[in-house]
Structure 1
Amino acid sequence: MSVLEFRRRPKPKTRKLDWVTMVMAVPTVSALGALGYVVVDQYEIPINAAPLVSLVLPAPSPERRVQFEMCSGSHRHTCVVDGDTIWLDGENLRLEGYDTPEPYTAICGGQAEVALAKRASARLLELLNSNAITVETGGLDGTGKRTLATIRIDGRDVGDILIDEGLARRWPDGNEWWCQAG
């Protein structure tokens, strides 16, 4: 006759956390939490914001040459409104990442602001007409009426060109330096 022997399975060994691990864990978790708060706070989305439909960014348009003119009256098909707004093929585009003074309102800088705005608009017109461009479009601006876009010449954002030439400021974080102009 055979005898069955039952043995108890040994308990799995549990790893005891040493005091160094515990001391290091608390500040690490706190730092990660704070970093997460800062990152989320930077990209705060309003409660009533429309949900994101797609996380895939559209590909830029193929490089092309377009002939622009200054917008006038109700003619708004392919023209420059001001240094950061254009119409392209009947679509109103707000060029993102930079801002130029307003040519028609002199909001804060008086006639010096209007003169700078006209120079920025003329320079944008010159850049667009003398180079092949690519256009990248994304959502709508804050008014919901203009498509946000980036126009590049040889891979360089036209906004960066205008900023480097002293005709624009970064947006939204740049200083409206033309407001002190007069």
Structure 2
Amino acid sequence: MPRTNCERTPAQPRSPKQRRRYAGILRAAAHLGAVHGLEGVQMHEVARRSGVAIATLYRYFPSKTHLFAAVLHDQVHRLDAGTASPPPGTGPVEAVSELLTGASRQLFEQPLLALAMIQSNNVSHVTDGVPGRHTDEIIADLVLRTAGVSDPCEQDRRVVRILEQAWYGLLTTVLYERSSAEAAQDGIRLACRLLLAPVLAGRRA
């Protein structure tokens, strides 16, 4: 189980130059993670590839788990920004199913990177500068928005958290080579139907 350095608070990029440098680090980490996985990536190689000093890298990312949790956060943020809410002409359950299965397909294309990000996300708290905006919460909000739920109650959020946990579990079965991608995709669709359909039907009643 990867561990984080809990004694040091990661710095946040503030200026445009710092944000460009930060983005370059994330791109370098994503490339290396896709080739080597979490254990095989060396921080000094990330620094070299992104053109920053090793001290700069550690200032933003005290550990590899901080780094790869941030890579996941960045990818989820891009998915959030590029997703219609909800997509036109699609029912809410089908829209969420397509969202999660589409994201899964992208993750399965780079399994070593996907596993590095998920493992790191489990033990590291990375936000986008807004208190409480953990990656998992961005995904939950995206699922609710995709389902057309603009005013979620606590029960809605509980159901979505359970769906998100089921999704992570199905992803890891594929990444650890315990099931096929097709079986996981079917499982994601089933979880969406079983969990979301009753909640959405209750809201319409």
Q: What TM-score, normalized to structure 1?
A: 0.28
More helix by share: 2
| Structure possessing the higher radius of gyration over alpha carbons | 1
The structure showing larger relative contact order (alpha-carbon pairs under 8 Å, at least 6 residues apart) is 2
More strand by share: 1
Q: What TM-score, normalized to structure 2?
A: 0.26
